[in-house]
């Protein structure tokens, strides 16, 4: 297998020279520049790097990434299983157990030996630009991720903290339904409650509610929640309060997590977790929700990608399946088609 040295890339910021790796969130309050990957199931990998520099994402190199054939992708839930699970969630809603739950499926395909997630990141940067795009490559620690996430999980600047939950997706703004707006408001309330557990009383605000953001091939409804961390709250407390992200769990979160565990047949891993960086020296950070994210599972020789949809009482099972297809289609084309797919996507 080709050797790819440890690296983290976030936008035009590149970190190399791995110093240490820990699963202790308190390290993020210490010193240095950290790349962070938090699995949906709770596993945390924090990697401190010695060298951080500004460097644009390189252009894709033809042949550097050889992805799986489009027909090689398989889903943890097929169409029949997914739509049946949507109906089951609606039964839980009718019983008063939950208002909304995010139902996801994990797609898998064989990955060629020596595949490099940073080469995939270069393709994604051309074919699916995203505000929180990034790579974390720690092959010795089981973390190889390329993300094109559009969603902010947590941003920090000193004591100020901000989250940007996404709920509601369509091809165009006209496709957004009343259900999408209702769902967004539900999740904003959840995120306010999560952040409020570690923020100063009265400091939590919602400066933007249900703003429409355009992304390649689709639009999202995005809200912004802000607060001021209490003096006694650091990264361990903030992550404990806010994780996993509310937009990819549901409301109430505890009920949604129980329902998700019963209905989903594959672990989400870094999908729907948190991916990003923490600059402990400057007290700044940006963690994205791990959506639109590929990761390599070397133990299974698999490339994985997750897609999902938020389910409410107003959900149509077939419509939710189509939403998961919409979210996945462009990115799977990039990952499967390599350089040629990018040229096609750009024309």
Give the list of residues 6+ apart from residue 325 with CB closer than 8 angstroms, or none: 307
Triad 247, 209, 42: Cα angle to 5°: 20
User: How far is residue 277's CA from residue 272's CA, in Å, rounded to a whole number?
Assistant: 16
Structural domain includes residue 2? no
Q: Which residue has the tokens 């999202």?
A: 220
CATH code, domain with 193: 3.60.120.10
Q: What is the number of domains present in the chain? A: 1
Which residues are paired to 152 by β-bridges?
164, 288
Structural domain includes residue 329? yes
Q: Are 169 and 218 in contact (CB under 8 A)?
A: yes
Structural domain includes residue 1? no
Sign for the CA dihedral angle at 204, 209, 211, 215 comes to positive
Which structural domain range is residue 283 located in? 7-346
SS3 label, residue 339: helix
C-alpha distance across the termini of the chain, in Å: 35
The total number of residues written for the chain in this structure: 347
Tokens of 73: 């992708």
Enumerate the active-site residues.
151, 167
Q: Which residues of 119-150 are buried (b: 16+ CB within 10 A; e: fewer)?
A: bbbbbbbbbbebebbbbbbbbeeebbbbbbbb
Tens of pLDDT along the chain (347 residues) come to 457 899 999 999 999 999 999 999 999 999 999 999 999 999 999 999 999 999 998 888 888 898 999 999 999 999 999 999 999 999 999 999 999 999 999 999 999 778 999 999 999 988 888 999 999 999 999 999 999 999 999 999 999 999 999 988 888 999 998 888 988 998 999 999 999 999 999 999 999 999 999 888 889 999 999 999 999 999 999 999 999 999 999 999 999 999 999 999 999 999 999 999 999 999 999 999 999 999 999 999 999 999 999 999 999 999 999 999 999 998 999 998 753 443 443 32
Tokens of 116: 């490099």
């Amino acid at each position: 297998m080709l050797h790819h040295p440890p690296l983290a890339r976030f936008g035009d910021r590149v970190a190399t020279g791995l110093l240490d790796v820990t699963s202790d969130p308190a390290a993020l309050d210490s010193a240095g520049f950290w790349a962070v990957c938090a699995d949906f199931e709770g596993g945390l990998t924090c990697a401190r790097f010695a060298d951080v520099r500004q460097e644009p994402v390189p252009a894709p190199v033809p042949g550097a990434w050889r992805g799986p054939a489009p027909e090689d992708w398989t889903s943890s839930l097929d169409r029949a299983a997914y739509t049946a699970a949507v109906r089951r969630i609606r039964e839980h809603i009718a019983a008063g157990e939950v208002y909304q739950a995010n139902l996801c499926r994990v797609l898998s395909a064989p990955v060629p030996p020596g595949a490099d997630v940073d080469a995939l990141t270069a393709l994604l940067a051309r074919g699916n630009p995203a505000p929180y795009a990034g790579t974390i490559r720690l092959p010795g620690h089981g973390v190889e991720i390329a993300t094109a996430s559009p969603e902010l999980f947590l941003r920090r600047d000193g004591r100020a903290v901000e989250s940007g939950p996404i709920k509601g997706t369509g091809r165009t703004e006209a496709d957004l339904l009343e259900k999408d707006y209702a769902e967004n408001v539900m999740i904003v309330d959840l995120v306010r409650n999560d952040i409020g557990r570690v923020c100063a009383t009265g400091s939590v605000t919602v400066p933007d509610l249900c703003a429409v953001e355009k992304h390649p091939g689709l639009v999202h409804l995005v809200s912004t929640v802000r607060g001021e961390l209490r003096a006694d709250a650091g990264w361990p407390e903030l992550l404990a309060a806010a994780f996993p992200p509310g937009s990819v769990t549901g409301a109430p979160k505890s009920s949604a997590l129980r329902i998700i565990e019963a209905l989903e047949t594959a672990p989400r891993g870094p999908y729907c977790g948190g991916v990003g960086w923490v600059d402990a020296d400057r007290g700044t950070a940006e963690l994205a929700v791990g959506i639109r994210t590929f990761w390599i599972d070397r133990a299974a020789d698999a490339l994985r990608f997750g897609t999902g949809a938020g389910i409410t009482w107003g959900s149509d099972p077939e419509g939710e399946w189509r939403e998961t297809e919409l979210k996945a289609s462009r990115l799977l084309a990039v990952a499967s088609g390599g350089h040629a797919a990018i040229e096609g996507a750009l024309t």
